[in-house]
Structure 1
Protein backbone atom coordinates (compact mmCIF):
# COMPACT_ATOMS: atom_id res chain seq x y z
CA UNK A 1 0.00 0.00 0.00
CA UNK A 2 1.42 3.38 -0.99
CA UNK A 3 1.47 5.92 1.82
CA UNK A 4 1.14 9.68 1.58
CA UNK A 5 4.86 10.07 2.31
CA UNK A 6 5.96 7.47 -0.24
CA UNK A 7 4.27 8.81 -3.38
CA UNK A 8 5.91 11.23 -5.79
CA UNK A 9 2.97 13.58 -6.25
CA UNK A 10 3.51 17.29 -5.73
CA UNK A 11 2.12 18.46 -2.41
CA UNK A 12 1.53 22.22 -2.03
CA UNK A 13 2.92 23.79 1.13
CA UNK A 14 0.66 24.32 4.09
CA UNK A 15 -0.65 27.88 4.45
CA UNK A 16 0.73 30.38 6.92
CA UNK A 17 -0.28 30.16 10.59
CA UNK A 18 -0.14 33.96 10.85
CA UNK A 19 -2.73 35.63 13.02
CA UNK A 20 -2.83 38.63 10.69
CA UNK A 21 -2.85 38.76 6.91
CA UNK A 22 -1.71 41.89 5.11
CA UNK A 23 -3.28 42.87 1.79
CA UNK A 24 -1.14 41.68 -1.11
CA UNK A 25 -0.21 45.29 -1.82
CA UNK A 26 -0.79 48.52 0.05
CA UNK A 27 1.02 51.84 0.49
CA UNK A 28 2.87 50.44 3.51
CA UNK A 29 3.40 46.76 2.76
CA UNK A 30 4.25 44.35 -0.03
CA UNK A 31 3.32 40.90 1.17
CA UNK A 32 5.40 37.86 0.29
CA UNK A 33 6.18 34.52 1.82
CA UNK A 34 9.04 32.13 2.47
CA UNK A 35 8.67 28.36 2.32
CA UNK A 36 10.02 26.72 5.45
CA UNK A 37 10.20 23.38 7.21
CA UNK A 38 11.26 23.82 10.82
CA UNK A 39 12.66 21.02 13.02
CA UNK A 40 9.36 21.06 14.93
CA UNK A 41 7.33 20.31 11.79
CA UNK A 42 7.67 17.63 9.15
CA UNK A 43 6.05 19.64 6.38
CA UNK A 44 6.62 22.77 4.34
CA UNK A 45 4.52 25.83 5.09
CA UNK A 46 4.38 29.48 4.16
CA UNK A 47 5.78 32.16 6.47
CA UNK A 48 4.55 35.59 5.42
CA UNK A 49 6.45 38.86 5.45
CA UNK A 50 5.21 42.38 4.85
CA UNK A 51 8.58 43.82 3.84
CA UNK A 52 12.00 42.83 2.55
CA UNK A 53 13.37 43.42 6.04
CA UNK A 54 10.93 40.90 7.50
CA UNK A 55 11.78 38.36 4.81
CA UNK A 56 15.51 38.72 5.47
CA UNK A 57 14.96 38.36 9.22
CA UNK A 58 12.87 35.25 8.60
CA UNK A 59 15.64 33.66 6.50
CA UNK A 60 18.28 34.43 9.12
CA UNK A 61 16.14 32.92 11.87
CA UNK A 62 15.48 29.77 9.84
CA UNK A 63 19.23 29.37 9.33
CA UNK A 64 19.98 29.25 13.07
CA UNK A 65 20.95 25.68 14.11
CA UNK A 66 19.28 26.15 17.48
CA UNK A 67 15.89 27.14 16.04
CA UNK A 68 13.00 24.77 16.77
CA UNK A 69 10.03 26.64 15.32
CA UNK A 70 9.11 30.02 13.88
CA UNK A 71 5.67 31.62 13.93
CA UNK A 72 4.69 34.61 11.81
CA UNK A 73 2.43 37.36 13.12
CA UNK A 74 1.63 35.71 16.49
CA UNK A 75 -1.31 36.86 18.61
CA UNK A 76 -1.07 40.48 19.82
CA UNK A 77 0.01 41.29 23.36
CA UNK A 78 -1.33 44.04 25.64
CA UNK A 79 0.83 46.55 27.46
CA UNK A 80 0.62 49.87 29.27
CA UNK A 81 2.52 52.69 27.55
CA UNK A 82 4.46 55.51 29.19
CA UNK A 83 1.26 57.59 29.45
CA UNK A 84 -0.62 54.85 31.26
CA UNK A 85 -2.74 53.90 28.25
CA UNK A 86 -3.61 50.29 27.46
CA UNK A 87 -2.30 49.34 24.04
CA UNK A 88 -1.61 46.23 21.95
CA UNK A 89 1.32 45.17 19.82
CA UNK A 90 1.75 42.30 17.39
CA UNK A 91 5.28 41.02 16.89
CA UNK A 92 6.44 40.05 13.42
CA UNK A 93 7.79 36.66 14.49
CA UNK A 94 7.94 34.41 17.51
CA UNK A 95 11.02 32.16 17.51
CA UNK A 96 11.14 29.03 19.67
CA UNK A 97 14.52 27.41 20.23
CA UNK A 98 15.49 23.82 20.97
CA UNK A 99 16.27 24.64 24.60
CA UNK A 100 12.70 25.93 25.05
CA UNK A 101 13.68 29.62 25.01
CA UNK A 102 11.23 31.85 23.10
CA UNK A 103 12.01 35.23 21.55
CA UNK A 104 9.44 37.71 20.24
CA UNK A 105 10.92 39.54 17.24
CA UNK A 106 10.03 43.04 16.07
CA UNK A 107 11.36 44.08 12.65
CA UNK A 108 11.52 47.79 11.82
CA UNK A 109 13.66 50.20 9.79
CA UNK A 110 16.20 51.98 12.00
CA UNK A 111 14.87 55.40 10.96
CA UNK A 112 11.39 54.47 12.14
CA UNK A 113 12.71 53.07 15.41
CA UNK A 114 14.35 56.40 16.18
CA UNK A 115 11.47 58.55 14.94
CA UNK A 116 8.87 56.67 17.00
CA UNK A 117 11.16 56.10 19.98
CA UNK A 118 10.21 52.46 19.57
CA UNK A 119 12.88 51.15 21.93
CA UNK A 120 11.04 52.81 24.80
CA UNK A 121 7.79 51.24 23.63
CA UNK A 122 9.45 47.86 23.31
CA UNK A 123 10.72 48.14 26.89
CA UNK A 124 7.14 48.62 28.09
CA UNK A 125 5.96 45.69 25.95
CA UNK A 126 8.68 43.46 27.40
CA UNK A 127 7.70 44.45 30.94
CA UNK A 128 4.07 43.45 30.34
CA UNK A 129 4.58 40.28 28.29
CA UNK A 130 2.02 37.63 29.32
CA UNK A 131 3.45 34.61 31.09
CA UNK A 132 4.51 31.90 28.64
CA UNK A 133 4.34 34.07 25.52
CA UNK A 134 8.09 34.75 25.24
CA UNK A 135 11.15 34.87 27.46
CA UNK A 136 12.51 38.01 25.85
CA UNK A 137 12.11 40.36 22.91
CA UNK A 138 14.45 41.32 20.07
CA UNK A 139 14.47 44.33 17.78
CA UNK A 140 15.90 43.76 14.29
CA UNK A 141 16.69 46.62 11.93
CA UNK A 142 18.78 46.69 8.77
CA UNK A 143 21.79 47.38 11.00
CA UNK A 144 21.55 43.86 12.47
CA UNK A 145 21.21 42.09 9.12
CA UNK A 146 24.37 41.33 7.17
CA UNK A 147 23.57 41.12 3.45
CA UNK A 148 26.03 38.29 2.82
CA UNK A 149 24.62 36.28 5.72
CA UNK A 150 21.15 36.83 4.29
CA UNK A 151 22.27 35.59 0.87
CA UNK A 152 23.81 32.48 2.42
CA UNK A 153 20.65 31.88 4.45
CA UNK A 154 18.56 32.20 1.28
CA UNK A 155 20.70 29.58 -0.47
CA UNK A 156 20.41 27.30 2.56
CA UNK A 157 16.64 27.51 2.49
CA UNK A 158 16.67 26.61 -1.21
CA UNK A 159 19.05 23.67 -0.68
CA UNK A 160 16.89 22.38 2.17
CA UNK A 161 14.04 22.11 -0.29
CA UNK A 162 16.10 19.57 -2.26
CA UNK A 163 16.81 16.85 0.36
CA UNK A 164 19.47 14.34 -0.64
CA UNK A 165 20.17 11.74 2.03
CA UNK A 166 22.75 9.92 -0.09
CA UNK A 167 24.88 13.04 -0.64
CA UNK A 168 24.45 14.05 3.01
CA UNK A 169 25.64 10.61 4.09
CA UNK A 170 28.74 10.70 1.85
CA UNK A 171 29.67 14.18 3.08
CA UNK A 172 29.00 13.09 6.66
CA UNK A 173 31.57 10.30 6.32
CA UNK A 174 34.13 12.74 4.95
CA UNK A 175 33.45 15.12 7.82
CA UNK A 176 34.00 12.32 10.35
CA UNK A 177 37.51 11.83 8.93
CA UNK A 178 38.27 15.56 8.88
CA UNK A 179 40.77 17.00 11.38
CA UNK A 180 41.78 20.29 9.80
CA UNK A 181 40.26 22.98 7.63
CA UNK A 182 39.96 22.34 3.90
CA UNK A 183 38.35 24.14 0.96
CA UNK A 184 34.83 22.94 0.19
CA UNK A 185 35.99 21.96 -3.28
CA UNK A 186 38.24 19.27 -1.77
CA UNK A 187 35.26 17.64 -0.06
CA UNK A 188 33.21 17.90 -3.23
CA UNK A 189 35.91 16.23 -5.32
CA UNK A 190 36.45 13.43 -2.79
CA UNK A 191 32.72 12.75 -2.61
CA UNK A 192 32.24 12.18 -6.34
CA UNK A 193 28.81 13.77 -5.96
CA UNK A 194 29.39 17.02 -7.83
CA UNK A 195 26.88 19.79 -7.17
CA UNK A 196 24.93 17.47 -4.87
CA UNK A 197 27.94 17.45 -2.54
CA UNK A 198 28.17 21.25 -2.47
CA UNK A 199 24.55 21.46 -1.37
CA UNK A 200 25.21 18.77 1.26
CA UNK A 201 28.24 20.69 2.58
CA UNK A 202 26.13 23.84 2.75
CA UNK A 203 23.50 22.02 4.84
CA UNK A 204 26.24 20.51 7.04
CA UNK A 205 27.62 23.97 7.81
CA UNK A 206 24.29 25.16 9.14
CA UNK A 207 23.69 21.91 10.99
CA UNK A 208 26.87 22.58 12.96
CA UNK A 209 28.80 19.67 11.46
CA UNK A 210 31.19 22.09 9.77
CA UNK A 211 32.45 25.56 10.67
CA UNK A 212 32.66 28.31 8.05
CA UNK A 213 32.61 32.10 7.93
CA UNK A 214 28.96 32.82 7.19
CA UNK A 215 29.69 36.52 6.68
CA UNK A 216 31.54 35.62 3.49
CA UNK A 217 29.85 34.18 0.42
CA UNK A 218 30.03 30.40 0.84
CA UNK A 219 31.53 28.96 -2.33
CA UNK A 220 33.71 26.08 -3.49
CA UNK A 221 36.75 28.06 -2.37
CA UNK A 222 35.46 28.66 1.16
CA UNK A 223 37.38 27.00 3.98
CA UNK A 224 35.53 24.68 6.35
CA UNK A 225 36.64 22.90 9.51
CA UNK A 226 35.10 20.25 11.77
CA UNK A 227 32.22 21.71 13.76
CA UNK A 228 31.07 21.15 17.32
CA UNK A 229 27.94 19.46 16.01
CA UNK A 230 29.89 16.75 14.20
CA UNK A 231 28.50 13.33 15.10
Structure 2
Protein backbone atom coordinates (compact mmCIF):
# COMPACT_ATOMS: atom_id res chain seq x y z
CA UNK A 1 0.00 0.00 0.00
CA UNK A 2 1.35 3.44 -0.94
CA UNK A 3 0.97 6.68 0.95
CA UNK A 4 0.53 9.54 -1.48
CA UNK A 5 1.42 13.12 -0.64
CA UNK A 6 0.99 15.81 -3.31
CA UNK A 7 1.23 13.19 -6.04
CA UNK A 8 4.42 11.65 -4.62
CA UNK A 9 4.29 7.93 -3.87
CA UNK A 10 6.46 6.72 -1.03
CA UNK A 11 8.53 3.56 -1.58
CA UNK A 12 7.19 0.18 -0.56
CA UNK A 13 8.46 -1.09 2.80
CA UNK A 14 11.39 -3.45 3.14
CA UNK A 15 10.53 -7.15 2.86
CA UNK A 16 13.42 -8.18 5.12
CA UNK A 17 12.65 -10.93 7.63
CA UNK A 18 14.54 -8.99 10.29
CA UNK A 19 15.59 -5.39 10.79
CA UNK A 20 19.26 -4.57 11.06
CA UNK A 21 20.54 -2.41 13.95
CA UNK A 22 20.03 1.29 13.28
CA UNK A 23 23.71 2.00 13.98
CA UNK A 24 26.92 0.13 14.73
CA UNK A 25 30.30 1.13 16.15
CA UNK A 26 32.15 -1.50 14.14
CA UNK A 27 30.75 -1.00 10.63
CA UNK A 28 28.34 1.13 8.65
CA UNK A 29 24.65 0.45 8.23
CA UNK A 30 22.72 1.73 5.25
CA UNK A 31 19.19 2.17 3.94
CA UNK A 32 18.34 2.63 0.27
CA UNK A 33 15.47 2.52 -2.20
CA UNK A 34 15.82 0.12 -5.13
CA UNK A 35 13.56 -1.04 -7.94
CA UNK A 36 11.60 1.03 -10.43
CA UNK A 37 9.59 4.19 -9.86
CA UNK A 38 8.77 4.59 -6.18
CA UNK A 39 10.64 1.32 -5.62
CA UNK A 40 11.07 -0.46 -2.32
CA UNK A 41 13.23 0.09 0.75
CA UNK A 42 16.18 -2.13 1.58
CA UNK A 43 18.54 -2.37 4.55
CA UNK A 44 22.25 -3.19 4.50
CA UNK A 45 24.33 -4.13 7.51
CA UNK A 46 27.61 -3.09 5.85
CA UNK A 47 28.92 -1.09 2.90
CA UNK A 48 29.77 -4.37 1.18
CA UNK A 49 26.16 -5.53 1.49
CA UNK A 50 24.95 -2.24 0.05
CA UNK A 51 27.30 -2.57 -2.94
CA UNK A 52 26.02 -6.08 -3.59
CA UNK A 53 22.38 -4.93 -3.43
CA UNK A 54 23.04 -2.06 -5.86
CA UNK A 55 24.79 -4.32 -8.36
CA UNK A 56 22.01 -6.91 -8.17
CA UNK A 57 19.47 -4.12 -8.66
CA UNK A 58 21.24 -3.10 -11.90
CA UNK A 59 21.19 -6.60 -13.39
CA UNK A 60 18.70 -7.04 -16.22
CA UNK A 61 17.90 -10.62 -15.20
CA UNK A 62 16.90 -9.69 -11.62
CA UNK A 63 13.22 -8.99 -11.01
CA UNK A 64 13.42 -8.07 -7.32
CA UNK A 65 15.60 -8.49 -4.25
CA UNK A 66 14.80 -9.40 -0.69
CA UNK A 67 17.43 -8.66 1.93
CA UNK A 68 17.87 -10.47 5.25
CA UNK A 69 15.96 -13.50 3.95
CA UNK A 70 15.30 -16.08 6.65
CA UNK A 71 15.83 -19.78 5.94
CA UNK A 72 14.61 -22.29 8.53
CA UNK A 73 15.39 -26.00 8.57
CA UNK A 74 15.45 -28.94 10.96
CA UNK A 75 18.41 -31.17 11.74
CA UNK A 76 18.57 -33.90 14.37
CA UNK A 77 15.18 -32.79 15.67
CA UNK A 78 16.35 -29.21 16.20
CA UNK A 79 15.08 -26.14 14.34
CA UNK A 80 17.77 -23.86 12.98
CA UNK A 81 17.64 -20.56 11.12
CA UNK A 82 20.00 -18.56 8.93
CA UNK A 83 19.55 -15.10 7.42
CA UNK A 84 20.95 -14.73 3.92
CA UNK A 85 22.10 -11.19 3.23
CA UNK A 86 20.18 -11.11 -0.05
CA UNK A 87 17.81 -13.29 -2.04
CA UNK A 88 17.56 -12.38 -5.72
CA UNK A 89 14.45 -13.41 -7.64
CA UNK A 90 15.39 -13.78 -11.30
CA UNK A 91 12.98 -13.17 -14.17
CA UNK A 92 13.46 -16.77 -15.28
CA UNK A 93 12.08 -17.99 -11.95
CA UNK A 94 15.37 -18.99 -10.30
CA UNK A 95 16.32 -17.72 -6.85
CA UNK A 96 19.89 -17.02 -5.78
CA UNK A 97 20.82 -16.53 -2.12
CA UNK A 98 23.81 -14.37 -1.25
CA UNK A 99 26.10 -14.42 1.76
CA UNK A 100 28.19 -11.25 1.94
CA UNK A 101 31.33 -11.26 4.06
CA UNK A 102 34.73 -9.53 4.10
CA UNK A 103 37.46 -11.77 2.66
CA UNK A 104 39.17 -12.12 6.04
CA UNK A 105 35.98 -13.57 7.53
CA UNK A 106 35.85 -16.35 4.92
CA UNK A 107 39.30 -17.78 5.70
CA UNK A 108 38.06 -19.73 8.69
CA UNK A 109 37.52 -23.42 8.05
CA UNK A 110 34.65 -23.27 10.51
CA UNK A 111 32.87 -20.60 8.44
CA UNK A 112 33.31 -22.53 5.19
CA UNK A 113 32.03 -25.76 6.72
CA UNK A 114 29.05 -23.96 8.27
CA UNK A 115 28.09 -22.37 4.93
CA UNK A 116 28.45 -25.67 3.10
CA UNK A 117 26.02 -27.24 5.54
CA UNK A 118 23.52 -24.36 5.27
CA UNK A 119 23.82 -24.38 1.48
CA UNK A 120 23.08 -28.10 1.32
CA UNK A 121 19.93 -27.68 3.41
CA UNK A 122 18.80 -24.59 1.49
CA UNK A 123 19.14 -26.35 -1.88
CA UNK A 124 17.47 -29.54 -0.68
CA UNK A 125 14.56 -27.57 0.79
CA UNK A 126 14.06 -25.62 -2.45
CA UNK A 127 14.63 -22.32 -0.66
CA UNK A 128 16.92 -21.26 -3.50
CA UNK A 129 18.58 -22.66 -6.62
CA UNK A 130 22.08 -21.43 -5.82
CA UNK A 131 24.07 -19.91 -2.97
CA UNK A 132 26.76 -17.35 -3.76
CA UNK A 133 29.44 -16.03 -1.41
CA UNK A 134 30.39 -12.40 -2.10
CA UNK A 135 33.50 -10.67 -0.75
CA UNK A 136 35.10 -7.34 -1.60
CA UNK A 137 37.08 -9.15 -4.32
CA UNK A 138 33.82 -9.85 -6.17
CA UNK A 139 32.71 -6.21 -6.28
CA UNK A 140 33.68 -4.65 -9.59
CA UNK A 141 34.09 -0.91 -8.98
CA UNK A 142 32.94 0.00 -12.50
CA UNK A 143 29.76 -2.02 -12.04
CA UNK A 144 29.28 -0.48 -8.60
CA UNK A 145 29.56 3.11 -9.86
CA UNK A 146 27.25 2.44 -12.80
CA UNK A 147 24.76 0.65 -10.56
CA UNK A 148 24.59 3.75 -8.35
CA UNK A 149 23.93 5.89 -11.42
CA UNK A 150 21.23 3.55 -12.70
CA UNK A 151 19.50 3.62 -9.33
CA UNK A 152 19.59 7.42 -9.36
CA UNK A 153 17.38 7.46 -12.50
CA UNK A 154 14.79 5.15 -10.97
CA UNK A 155 11.94 7.61 -11.62
CA UNK A 156 10.42 7.53 -15.11
CA UNK A 157 10.20 10.57 -17.38
CA UNK A 158 8.03 9.34 -20.27
CA UNK A 159 8.31 12.55 -22.30
CA UNK A 160 12.11 12.68 -22.14
CA UNK A 161 12.44 8.94 -22.72
CA UNK A 162 10.30 9.15 -25.87
CA UNK A 163 12.54 11.92 -27.22
CA UNK A 164 15.69 9.95 -26.29
CA UNK A 165 14.39 6.85 -28.08
CA UNK A 166 13.70 8.90 -31.19
CA UNK A 167 17.23 10.34 -31.08
CA UNK A 168 19.03 7.02 -30.62
CA UNK A 169 16.94 5.45 -33.36
CA UNK A 170 18.79 7.69 -35.80
CA UNK A 171 22.34 6.75 -34.80
CA UNK A 172 24.53 4.45 -36.86
CA UNK A 173 27.22 2.65 -34.89
CA UNK A 174 28.32 4.43 -31.72
CA UNK A 175 27.73 7.93 -30.39
CA UNK A 176 28.70 9.68 -27.17
CA UNK A 177 26.14 10.37 -24.49
CA UNK A 178 27.12 14.03 -24.69
CA UNK A 179 26.26 14.25 -28.41
CA UNK A 180 23.03 12.34 -27.94
CA UNK A 181 22.04 14.56 -25.03
CA UNK A 182 22.55 17.66 -27.17
CA UNK A 183 20.38 16.13 -29.88
CA UNK A 184 17.53 15.58 -27.41
CA UNK A 185 17.47 19.33 -26.68
CA UNK A 186 16.42 18.52 -23.13
CA UNK A 187 19.70 19.06 -21.23
CA UNK A 188 19.77 17.10 -17.95
CA UNK A 189 16.40 15.46 -18.60
CA UNK A 190 17.70 14.14 -21.89
CA UNK A 191 20.86 12.80 -20.26
CA UNK A 192 18.89 11.05 -17.54
CA UNK A 193 16.59 9.52 -20.16
CA UNK A 194 19.61 8.13 -22.01
CA UNK A 195 20.96 6.66 -18.78
CA UNK A 196 17.58 5.00 -18.29
CA UNK A 197 17.96 3.43 -21.74
CA UNK A 198 21.29 2.02 -20.57
CA UNK A 199 19.64 0.82 -17.37
CA UNK A 200 16.92 -0.98 -19.32
CA UNK A 201 19.36 -2.55 -21.77
CA UNK A 202 18.10 -0.70 -24.85
CA UNK A 203 21.54 0.94 -25.09
CA UNK A 204 24.91 -0.57 -24.18
CA UNK A 205 28.27 1.06 -23.59
CA UNK A 206 30.88 0.23 -26.22
CA UNK A 207 33.44 -0.49 -23.48
CA UNK A 208 33.23 -1.55 -19.84
CA UNK A 209 33.80 1.77 -18.09
CA UNK A 210 32.27 4.17 -15.59
CA UNK A 211 29.50 5.89 -17.54
CA UNK A 212 30.12 9.57 -18.30
CA UNK A 213 29.05 12.07 -20.98
CA UNK A 214 32.03 10.88 -23.08
CA UNK A 215 30.91 7.23 -23.00
CA UNK A 216 30.20 5.81 -26.45
CA UNK A 217 26.96 3.85 -26.64
CA UNK A 218 25.08 1.86 -29.25
CA UNK A 219 21.88 -0.10 -29.66
CA UNK A 220 21.98 -3.39 -27.78
CA UNK A 221 21.07 -5.29 -30.97
CA UNK A 222 23.97 -3.71 -32.86
CA UNK A 223 26.41 -4.80 -30.17
CA UNK A 224 25.62 -8.52 -30.56
Asked whether the equivalents of residues 98 and 132 of structure 2 are also in contact (C-alpha less than 8 Å), the reply is yes
Alignment of 1:1-231 (within 5 A): 8-38=6-36, 43-78=38-73, 87-115=80-108, 117-129=110-122, 130-161=124-155, 163-212=156-205, 215-228=208-221
Aligned residues: 220
Please give the TM-score of this superposition, normalised by the length of structure 1: 0.84
Higher mean alpha-carbon deviation, 168-177 vs 212-221, is at: 212-221
Q: TM-score scaled to structure 2, two decimals?
A: 0.86
Instruction: Considering fraction of residues, name the structure with more strand.
Output: 2
Partner Cα separation in structure 1 for residue 20 and residue 188 of structure 2: 38
- Distance in 1 of aligned mates of 2:110 and 2:199: 35
CA distance in 1, matches of 2:3, 2:66: 24
Instruction: Report the alpha carbon displacement of residue 123 of structure 1 after superposing the two structures with TM.
Output: 2.5
Q: CA deviation at 1:213?
A: 5.6
Deviation of residue 229 (structure 1)?
Answer: 9.8
Q: Give 1:9 deviation, angstroms.
A: 3.4
**1:14–1:134 distance in 2 versus 1, CA, 3 Å:** same
For residues 101 and 219 of structure 1, do their structure 2 counterparts lie closer, same or farther at Cα, with a shift above 3 Å needed? Answer: same
Larger proportion of helix: 2
Structure 1 residues 5 and 209: alpha-carbon distance in aligned structure 2, compared to 1, 3 A threshold: farther
Q: Distance in 2 between matches of 1:229 and 1:61?
A: 25
Unaligned 5+ segments in structure 2 are none
